[in-house]
Amino acid sequence: MLQEAEKIQEKKVLDKGFVYLVDIMGDDSSIVQAARVSYGKGTKTVREDRGLIRYLIRHRHTTPFEMVQTKWHIKLPIFVARQWMRHRAASYNEYSLRYSEARDEFYFPEETRIQFQSRGNRQGSSSEPVPEDFQKTFQENLDDICRKAYDCYTHLNDLGLARELIRIFLPVNLYTEFYWSINLHNLMHFLELRMDAHAQSEIQAYGFAIAEILKEKLPMTWEAFEDYVLKGQKLSKQEWNLLQKVMDLEKLKSYEENLEAAGLSKGEWRELLEKLKGFEQSPAIQKI
């Protein structure tokens, strides 16, 4: 039984990495419980709990999500850890290469990951096929450099030179590990940014692994997060104006009879119609 639970909490990522949920304090009901402090005793059934969580995410009432605290053990290449640690609203404790010896563990990307530089996106990779000999050159060079770097590191380590200095021989595809403590609000912010198609594929892979675990642990919150954040859209004024020109409001209203099939509650339907009345609901903003 314990083994099953452990499986849910750990996911392998890349060739040697993993995410492991060490601890979680709280669940969907803790969010509801915190929110009820502000909204009173009104919502009691499971269906109402789901509705309340959806309402909170939809209206960015975020503090109840801060009541759920998570702690993770993450193993990842150093270049991914650099991106990860830009997320300041969390606590980290990392494996020390001043104190401990580096292990011979480097990230070797799969062949399909060896891609050309994207022409359209300066931060991205292209889906254009890469000739086999280019991939081979990449792999041989990476193998060679990691081997030489590690041999050099172990030789200097054997000579007794300081580990805090000899680590500068090691490339950024070396694996590191850290403990990461983060509340659910900040974790969802991290996932929104790092599961996005614009994020680097390696950190995306970690995001998706964390997502699988969270989905099991917090099904209602995850569903709402997916609906309103991951798969929802925010439009600019110009985009919205353009869409309004081609939108058939009368046709849309015919769906009112069948809201369940559209997956909308009455409240969401009402809010949708309000949004459609103008770009922003606030009359003050409309005057600007």
- Size, binding site for ligand FAD by CB under 6 A: 9
Among 86, 98, 266, 277, binds ligand FAD (CB under 6 A): 86
Interacting span for ligand FAD (CB under 6 A) from 30-38, 86-94, 229-237, 253-261: 86-94
Site residues for ligand FAD, 212-271, by CB under 6 A, read none
How, if at all, do strands 175-183 and 17-25 pair? Answer: unpaired
Q: Out of 199, 205, 211, 220, point to the residue binding ligand FAD (CB under 6 A).
A: 199
Instruction: Name 19's bridge partners.
Output: 11, 74
Taking the complex as a whole, how short is the minimal distance between the CB of residue 83 and ligand FAD, in angstroms?
7
Find the residue with minimal CB distance to ligand FAD: 88
Give the CA distances from residue 206 to residues 10, 11, 19, 75, 217, in Å, rounded to whole numbers and listed in that order: 11, 9, 7, 10, 17
Tell me if 16 sits within 8 A of 175, measured CB to CB. yes
**Sequence-separated (6 or more) residues with CB below 8 Å from residue 102:** 150, 153, 163, 167, 170, 174
Binding status of residue 198 toward ligand FAD by CB under 6 A: yes
Query: Hey, what amino acid is at 160?
Result: G
Tokens of 21: 């949920």
Which region among 12-20, 32-40, 85-93, 151-159 touches ligand FAD (by CB under 6 A)? 85-93
Q: How far apart are CA 169 and CA 161, in angstroms?
A: 13
Q: Is 194 a catalytic residue?
A: yes
Nearer to ligand FAD among residue 86 and residue 287 (C-beta): 86
Give the one residue of 25, 85, 89, 172 binding ligand FAD; rule: CB under 6 A: 89
**Residues whose CB falls within 8 Å of the CB of residue 150, separated by 6 or more in sequence, listed in order:** 102, 104, 106, 170
88 contacts ligand FAD (rule: CB under 6 A): yes
**Under rule CB under 6 A, which residues in 169-188 are in contact with ligand FAD?**
186
> In the Cβ-directed half-sphere of 119, how many Cα atoms lie within 13 Å?
1
Q: Is 98 in the site for ligand FAD (CB under 6 A)?
A: no
Spot the catalytic one: 113, 119, 194, 270.
194
Contact residues toward ligand FAD (CB under 6 A) are 86-89, 186, 189, 193, 198-199
Annotated catalytic sites, by residue? 194
